[in-house]
Chains A and B, each alone.
Chain A
Amino acid sequence: AQSVTQPDIHITVSEGASLELRCNYSYGATPYLFWYVQSPGQGLQLLLKYFSGDTLVQGIKGFEAEFKRSQSSFNLRKPSVHWSDAAEYFCAVGNTGGFKTIFGAGTRLFVKA
């Protein structure tokens, strides 16, 4: 069965510092992987996705993620965090085609001035 684990419920980083949010997944076949961001009171916005090909994926807002099959991980990174990045981040895994999606519980990011 598909599952997604985001080990960190919340993370605090200083503005300008680098960020890495962890995501581990369980899926029997090649997964479709996603990272979404949710600002307070808002819906979800897709940051990036991985379906195949290059394992380092670039997304919007300066985010990137790396798919590591051997570690079943898809960690999200950003070299320099801005205060506007404070939000909740969700990792998700989809079945072939991406139609059936399992989300992680989310990691809330706090940014210190």
Chain B
Amino acid sequence: EAQVTQNPRYLITVTGKKLTVTCSQNMNHEYMSWYRQDPGLGLRQIYYSMNVEVTDKGDVPEGYKVSRKEKRNFPLILESPSPNQTSLYFCASSFTVGGALWETQYFGPGTRLLVL
């Protein structure tokens, strides 16, 4: 089954304790992206990757890191989480065709993070 998986689905942590949220897709997609969703703000893009070893900042990259060492995985790293990073996080992936995102983005189920 074609899917985007995220782990963990729910996470409670404390300020300053490094954490990683994993994202994996089994569709051989070139493009992957991370978003955070907050009430009244919609989704905001954190980072995206157009292929292995190619990443770029989205709208709200501060406090986050990403890496794309393999095509299928795109982990989101919070080196020193703070309470304002409490949010619902979505990973997404898609094919690119002719250098553009022509296909739909497939979204993962979301990771709900609470930073105390």
CA distance A100 to B48 in the complex (A): 7
Taking a contact as CB atoms under 8 Å apart, the answer to whether B100 and A98 are in contact is: yes
- State A4–B43 Cα separation when bound (angstroms): 11
Chain A positions 71 through 113: 1 when the CB is less than 8 Å from some CB of chain B, otherwise 0: 0000000000000000000101010111111111110000000
Pick from A9, A42, A46: contact of B105, CB below 8 A. A46
Query: B99 — which chain A residues lie within 8 A by C-beta?
Result: 97
CB pair B42 A103 closer than 8 Å: yes
**Judging by beta carbons under 8 Å apart, are A100 and B58 in contact?**
yes
Total interface residues on A, CB under 8 Å, equals 25
Contact A51 B102, beta carbon cutoff 8 Å? yes
C-alpha gap A102/B92 in the complex (Å): 14
| In contact, A43 and B42 (Cβ under 8 angstroms) | no
Q: Is the CB of A90 within 8 A of B43?
A: yes
Residue on B with the closest CB to A9?
A: B40
Is there an interface contact between B109 and A43, defined as CB atoms closer than 8 Å?
Answer: yes
> A97 and B56: CB pair below 8 A?
no
B107 within 8 A of A: yes
Q: Pick the contact of A102 from B33, B56, B59, B104 — CB < 8 Å?
A: B59
Q: What's the minimum C-beta distance from B52 to chain A, rounded to whole angstroms?
A: 15
Encoded as 1 (CB less than 8 Å from any B CB) or 0, chain A from 1 to 20 comes to 00010100100000000000
Known: A44-B107, A100-B48. A51 touches B100 (CB 8 A): yes
Q: Which residues of the other chain, B, contact A46 by a CB distance below 8 angstroms? A: 104-105
Q: Are A105 and B40 in contact (CB under 8 A)?
A: yes
Alpha-carbon distance between A102 and B91 when the two chains are bound, in angstroms? 15
Q: Closest approach, in angstroms, between the C-beta of B90 and any C-beta of chain A?
A: 6
Residues of chain B from 42 to 59 with CB closer than 8 A to chain A in the complex? 42-45, 48, 50, 56, 58-59
26 A-B residue pairs with Cβ-Cβ distance under 8 Å, sorted by A, are A4-B42, A6-B42, A43-B108, A43-B110, A44-B105, A44-B107, A49-B104, A51-B100, A94-B101, A96-B100, A97-B99, A97-B101, A98-B100, A99-B31, A99-B33, A99-B50, A99-B56, A99-B101, A101-B58, A102-B44, A103-B35, A103-B44, A104-B42, A105-B40, A105-B41, A106-B42
A-B interface, 4 closest residue pairs, ranked by CB to CB distance from nearest: A98-B101, A43-B107, A46-B104, A103-B42
